[in-house]
């Protein structure tokens, strides 16, 4: 019972971070591995499956607030379709310890990115030019592959790349909500073919993730999320370091 409560709490925090900063889904994998006893392959595949539902809810909530710019969202999603399946295939070919090390490194990277101060720009890119659309397709391809490989969900990869490329931060998080759906659906298709998903565990935690997403989206639009960003960063760095220590 205690273990389930801890996993449920982790799922709420994951949803909260997804809704606010777009980065946080990766934390579900170590929670399922070390608290739920799943293998790293199954944990990654199960986490990715739950992101279908957090993506749908996040998309609806962001769209209701007018925070999704479809001009930049569509190219990102188009680039992710095939590469999400390829990433899931690649994950199935990796030995468990190596996959855990890759995920641990990604967790630490996520924490480091969140700690970076937001760049001040006078003008943001809007995805109108062919070059900007090509950049967005590339972001989608990398995000799709990384999502399928690690089970982290597309936002972990897309939000940092889009912000660093000069797109509006809130619009980048909004686009990442839609991207979650694409990477999770096609990555899950790959995992059904090459891996294993624990649907029972997914059913137990998805509701808690969704509750976190609702709270996170409200925070993203209502208050400064600097404190929450720092908390997410600290959790990512600590959890990632712990995973590296366990697997090295």
pLDDT in tens, the chain (248 residues): 678 888 999 899 888 888 777 677 788 988 999 888 999 999 999 999 999 998 898 899 889 888 899 999 999 999 999 999 999 999 999 998 898 889 888 888 877 877 776 666 667 777 778 888 999 999 999 999 999 998 887 888 888 888 888 888 778 888 988 999 999 999 999 999 988 899 999 999 999 999 998 888 888 777 665 666 777 777 778 878 888 887 77
* Overall number of domains in the chain: 1
DSSP 22: S
Cα of first residue to Cα of last residue in the chain, in angstroms, is: 31
Measured in residues, the chain has a length of 248
Q: Rounded to two decimals, what is the model's pTM?
A: 0.85
- Return the pLDDT at 67: 81
- Return the pLDDT at 43: 93
Burial 96-113 (b: 16+ CB within 10 A, else e): eeebbbbbbebbbbbbeb
**41 lies in which domain range?**
2-247
Cα separation, 103 vs 192, in Å, equals 20
Cα separation, 145 vs 40, in Å, equals 17
- Return the pLDDT at 224: 62
């Amino acid at each position: 019972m205690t273990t389930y409560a801890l996993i449920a709490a982790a799922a709420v925090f994951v949803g909260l971070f997804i809704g606010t900063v777009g980065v946080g889904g990766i934390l579900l994998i170590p929670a399922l591995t070390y608290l739920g006893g799943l293998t790293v392959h199954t944990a990654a595949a199960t986490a990715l499956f739950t992101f279908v539902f957090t993506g749908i809810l996040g998309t609806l909530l962001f769209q209701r607030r007018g925070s999704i710019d479809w001009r930049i969202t569509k190219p990102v999603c188009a680039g992710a379709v095939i590469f999400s399946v390829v990433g899931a295939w690649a994950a199935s070919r990796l030995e468990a310890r190596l996959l855990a090390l890759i995920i641990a490194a990604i967790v630490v990277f996520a924490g480091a990115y969140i700690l970076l101060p937001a760049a001040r720009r006078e003008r943001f890119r809007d995805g109108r030019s062919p070059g900007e659309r090509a950049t967005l397709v590339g972001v989608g391809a990398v995000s799709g592959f990384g999502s399928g490989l690690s089970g982290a969900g597309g936002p972990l990869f897309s939000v940092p790349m889009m912000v660093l490329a000069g797109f509006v931060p809130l619009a980048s998080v909004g686009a990442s909500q839609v991207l979650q759906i694409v990477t999770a659906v096609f990555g899950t298709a790959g995992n059904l073919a090459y891996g294993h998903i624990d649907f029972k565990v997914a059913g137990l935690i998805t509701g808690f993730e969704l509750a976190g997403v609702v709270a996170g989206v409200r925070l993203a639009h209502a208050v400064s999320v600097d404190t929450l960003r720092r908390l997410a960063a600290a959790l990512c760095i600590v959890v990632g370091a712990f995973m590296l220590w366990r697997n090295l």
